[in-house]
């Protein structure tokens, strides 16, 4: 790396921790920040230093909350729980307005190579909620990747023992797609997940 001032190198090294930000982009961001007005930098710095005091992960479901958790409210349908791997996913699902039940965030997927084992999925907490609320269906809304498939299979095995129905989001043709341009894996999944029409 160039012979930048030490504090600038430190800033670059922090920025590089962000996903998708390589050395060149981090340097560009750092130089851009130096162009910012001092007051704006102070506001940004204050926001960063307080963010963990203002936003928390809900102790029950793992979604983000400020005060009360909006996703654990008694107004919600308590017979279904949707399992997601990131607190970010809840916002996409809420936007569809297709689901009104509870959520459980696993904060990651099974990935033995990255040291993500079953203990990381907070499964005991999930099982307890299923039993306490007498939940009838667990909907697995996990990525369609090797890690997502492995996690879904593991959760299916574990949760089925509790006697509830375990479902997974249908995987199939993207909206507006043409069969000719869909890849083989997606088409195969669409066949497996076909439903009565
Ligand atoms: Zn919650």
Distance from Cα 103 to the centre of ligand 1, integer Å? 7
φ, ψ for residue 81 (rounded to 5)? Answer: -130, 135
Give the pTM: 0.83
User: Helix, strand or coil for residue 2?
Assistant: coil
Distance from Cα 127 to the centre of ligand 1, integer Å? 15
At 151-168, the pLDDT tens digits run 999 999 999 999 999 999
Distance from Cα 17 to the centre of ligand 1, integer Å? 28
Give the number of other CB atoms < 10 A from CB of residue 99. 16
Percent of the chain surpassing pLDDT 70: 99
Contact indicator for 151, 85 with CB cutoff of 8 Å: yes
* Secondary structure element (H or E) that encloses residue 94, with its range: helix 89-96
DSSP string, 123-184: HHHHHHHHHHTT--EEEE---SSHHHHHHHHHHHHHHHTTT-EEEE----PPTT--GGGS-H
Contacts of 50 (CB under 8 A, 6+ apart): none
The pLDDT score that the predictor gives to residue 1 is 67
Across the chain, mean pLDDT equals 91
User: Residue 121 has what DSSP assignment?
Assistant: G
Beta bridge partner(s), residue 81: 102, 138
At 1-26, the pLDDT tens digits run 678 999 999 999 999 999 999 999 99
At 96-128, the pLDDT tens digits run 888 999 999 999 999 888 888 888 888 999 999
């Amino acid at each position: 790396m160039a012979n930048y001032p030490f504090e600038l190198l430190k800033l670059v090294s922090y920025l590089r921790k962000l996903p998708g930000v390589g050395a060149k982009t981090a340097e560009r961001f750092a130089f851009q920040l130096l162009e910012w007005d001092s007051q704006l930098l102070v506001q940004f710095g204050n926001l960063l230093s307080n963010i963990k005091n203002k936003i928390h992960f809900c102790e029950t479901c793992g979604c983000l909350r400020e005060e009360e958790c909006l996703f654990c409210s008694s107004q919600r349908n308590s017979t279904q729980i949707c399992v997601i791997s990131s607190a970010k996913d809840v916002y996409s699902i809420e936007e569809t307005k297709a689901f009104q039940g509870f959520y459980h965030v696993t904060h990651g997927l099974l990935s033995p190579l990255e040291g993500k084992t079953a203990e990381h999925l907070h499964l005991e907490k999930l099982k307890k909620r299923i039993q306490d609320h007498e939940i009838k269906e667990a909907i697995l809304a996990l990525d369609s990747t090797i890690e997502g498939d492995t996690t879904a299979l593991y959760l299916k095995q574990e949760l089925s023992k509790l006697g509830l129905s375990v479902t997974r989001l249908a995987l199939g043709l993207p909206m507006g797609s043409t069969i000719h341009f869909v890849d083989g894996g997606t088409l195969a999944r669409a066949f497996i997940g076909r439903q009565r029409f």
